[in-house]
Amino acid sequence: MPSLPEAVTVRAAAKVNLELLVGPRDASGYHALATVFQAVSLYDDVTVRRARRCSLTVAGRDAEHVPTDESNLAWRAVIAVGEGHPEAGPVAISIAKDIPVAGGMAGGSADGAAALVAADALWGVGLSRTELHRLAAGLGADVPFSVLGGTAIGTGRGDELAPAMARGSYHWVFAFSDEGLSTPRVFAELDRLRAERGEDVSAPAQQQPEPEVSTAMMTALLSGDAEAVGQAMHNDLQEAALSLQPRLVDTLAIGQECGALGGIVSGSGPTCAFLAASHEHALDLAVALTASGVASDVRRAQGPVPGARLIHPGKEQ
Ligand SMILES: C[C@](O)(CO)[C@H](O)COP(=O)(O)OP(=O)(O)OC[C@H]1O[C@@H](n2ccc(N)nc2=O)[C@H](O)[C@@H]1O
Ligand SMILES: Nc1ncnc2c1ncn2[C@@H]1O[C@H](COP(=O)(O)OP(=O)(O)OP(=O)(O)O)[C@@H](O)[C@H]1O
């Protein structure tokens, strides 16, 4: 039997929701979703190393805002994989972050997904896909997609996944905000806005139709038509994110003025995601967004990219 490694590094990508439809809230406080996820080329790297005692360190973008205790999703992931496996011992976890924290791009979920895959490889647990999915869904609604990557449809809490029939590669520009948004707070704000309009936000699910991804988005992805994808982009959480951070309206307006094929708040925000027509168009959009001063940082990325994957399986000396 080949010997197991001393350390493993796994890379996991950020996501954008091309379409995000939010249905009613159930008794557990979660909302029924229909979403199209796409993994994009902004990455966190998680290294899990055998150690005498457990520890966690974080470096990179927004590192100071990331918890370094057992509440970190990477720590929780390692514990989840180790349960019931005597070969699991203490590990030192180090996270190199490039995905913004509380940015609506599943940064914490990426770290959780990466740590699941890393711990599995470190200890040679040999998790099945079903088992990996179960552990991922137990960590958070976005974690299963962070494991899978690519372009996928999410239903249920967003954790029931089916790969989407999608062609083409997409050029993205992301405008970050210096102030994060808490995901539960954004869902709660959407409920508040809906209740204010007289909509029933927590009716029993069977009395309200489940949200469904639009035919327009599925057809656009199938044909790889970026312009049609841009037109079909939609996020039900956007009004709530704009209500909590009104200055995002300016960010979205700049993208629109610069001819973005589509511009929406990414997930629960506050990051704004713009779809560009080409590499050159993405450069122009990024320059315009940077010059306008509306964003704390602007980054370009490509999608789709793979989910959590081993980048350093080698044995350490
Ligand atoms: C907004 C999205 O990023 C879109 O992909 C996700 O729905 C959020 O996924 P996540 O951050 O992994 O979510 P979790 O950590 O599981 O849940 C955080 C909180 O978000 C809210 N939440 C999340 C998912 C969902 N389907 N309904 C919800 O209402 C709940 O208040 C929950 O307590
Ligand atoms: N590894 C982690 N990286 C970042 N935040 C983490 C991590 N583990 C736990 N957290 C906590 O989770 C909160 C949300 O962080 P995260 O970056 O995942 O938000 P998000 O990208 O908006 O999430 P999503 O898009 O999945 O809704 C943070 O404020 C932090 O307290």
Q: Kindly list the domain boundaries of the chain, sorted by start residue.
A: 7-164, 170-303
- What percent of the chain stands above pLDDT 70? 97
Provide the residue type at 234 as one letter. Answer: H
Measured distance CA(225)–CA(237) in Å, rounded: 25
Q: State the catalytic residue, choosing from 45, 111, 120, 142.
A: 142
What percentage of the chain has pLDDT greater than the value 90? Answer: 91
- Name the more confident of 12 and 199: 12
pLDDT of 150 strictly over 70: yes
Whole-angstrom CA distances from 307 to 71, 111, 198, 299 are 23, 11, 40, 20
Active site residue 26: no
- Measured CA to CA, the distance from residue 243 to residue 287 in angstroms comes to 27
* Ligand 2 pocket check for 108: Cβ under 6 Å: yes
Q: Is the CB of 120 within 6 Å of ligand 2?
A: no
pLDDT band, very low/low/confident/very high, at 315 (cuts 50, 70, 90)? very low
Q: Indicate the length of the chain as a whole number.
A: 317
Q: Which helix (H) or strand (E) holds 238?
A: helix 238-244
Provide the CATH topology of domain 7-164: Ribosomal Protein S5; domain 2 (3.30.230)
pLDDT of 232 over the 70 cut:
yes
pLDDT of residue 84: 86
Is residue 315 flagged as an active site residue?
A: no
Closest Cα partner for 78 from 104, 45, 107, 112?
Answer: 112
Q: Which ligand is nearest to the CA of 74?
A: 2
CATH homologous superfamily of 170-303 equals: GHMP kinase, C-terminal domain (3.30.70.890)
User: Is the dihedral angle over the CA atoms 307, 308, 310, 311 positive or is it negative?
Assistant: positive
Q: How far is CA 58 from the centre of its chain?
A: 18
pLDDT digits (tens, 9 = 90+) for 93-146: 999 999 999 999 999 999 999 999 999 999 999 999 999 999 999 999 999 999
Is residue 93 helix, strand or coil?
A: strand
What's the 140 CA to ligand 2 centre distance in angstroms?
10
Examine the predicted complex and report whether its ipTM is higher than 0.85: yes
